[in-house]
Chains A and B, each alone.
Chain A
Amino acid sequence: MMEFPGQLIYWIVVVMMMMGFYIVIAQGNFVKKIVGLNVFQVSVFLLYITMGKVTGGTAPILADGIEIYSNPLPHVLILTAIVVGVATTSLGLALVVRINEEYGTIEDDDILEQESDA
């Protein structure tokens, strides 16, 4: 990847994070909300991985003749986080399926309407 000047890469990550945040709070469709959560999540992962990168370093797999490695700790944390993220995604999607069975819709304002009618 080409070298970014200073903190530019963090700003790109923040913009992506906010796109995810916008999807979660602005859009009424539950599947879309979960997609937004995923976008947010991946941006946070990227933030961690960018912090672990060392210029001129290689992947943290020990080998002869290599002096600089990138930091392995963020990689481990994010590895765990990705798997946990999928677990929460699946739980959320299960809730969406259940809500669709109960109300026949996955739009939150439709559900509010049905609730106020009842």
Chain B
Amino acid sequence: MLITAFAIIRIRYLFSVVILTGLFSLLAAAIYVLMDAVDVAFTEAAVGAGVSTVLMLGTLALTTTEEKTTSKSRAVPAAILSIITGAVLIYGTLEMPNYGDGKAPIHQHVAPRYLNQSAQEIDLPNVVTSVLASYRGYDTLGETFVIFTAAMGVLAIIGRGRRRRKKEDVEREAKT
């Protein structure tokens, strides 16, 4: 995955970049399976690797597929800034619990309740589903609103209204 991310930085031909992004998502999905997050892996493979790639390819079809080179004057400060930020973040992880530690604080509060009670309360074997649809149902409702808003935004930006305006422009030009 690191190699893929690095290639995404270096490659200038945007078509390859987009395909590599799909590969990146797919690798992420494989890692999710290894970390027991099967539901997340499904979603990432379908949505991240599938839908995103299609959307990006559509954008490339409407725009260009070549990228200009990045100027040094921009790349160097950006690299320094990213390295500093990364160092601070790594410093932050030093006090985090070890990977796979069952006694970490994250496993102490609501999670055991979900695991122990959801079988009686919701009667679904898949805990992720019962948390998503029941305990945190408002989250999911909010998510739906976000998608709706995004769809409205996309329509407002490249939808029908714009085409009508273009037609008006053409008519105005024809009159003059």
Binding site for B on A (CB under 8 A): 1, 3-4, 6-12, 14-23, 25-29, 31-32, 34-36, 38-39, 42, 45-46, 49-63, 68-80, 82-91, 93-98, 100, 105-107, 109-110
Contacts and interface: CB of A to CB of B under 8 A. Distances in A.
A1 to B, nearest CB: 4
Given A19-B9, A42-B24, A45-B28, A11 B90 contact: yes
B85 to A, nearest CB: 6
B43 A17 contact: no
Interface in B131-163: 131-132, 136, 139-140, 143, 146-147, 149-151, 153-154, 157-158, 162
A79 B70 contact: no
6 contacts: A14-B86, A22-B78, A32-B14, A68-B102, A91-B157, A94-B157
Interface string B108-145: 00110011001100000111100110001001100100
Nearest to B79: A22
B147 A51 contact: no
B148 to A, nearest CB: 9
Prevailing SS type, chain B contact patch: helix
B48 A42 contact: yes
Prevailing SS type, chain A contact patch: helix
B111 A72 contact: yes
A97 B35 contact: no
B82 A93 contact: no
A39 B25 CA distance: 8
B102 A61 contact: no
Contact of B43 (A1, A82, A89, A95): A82
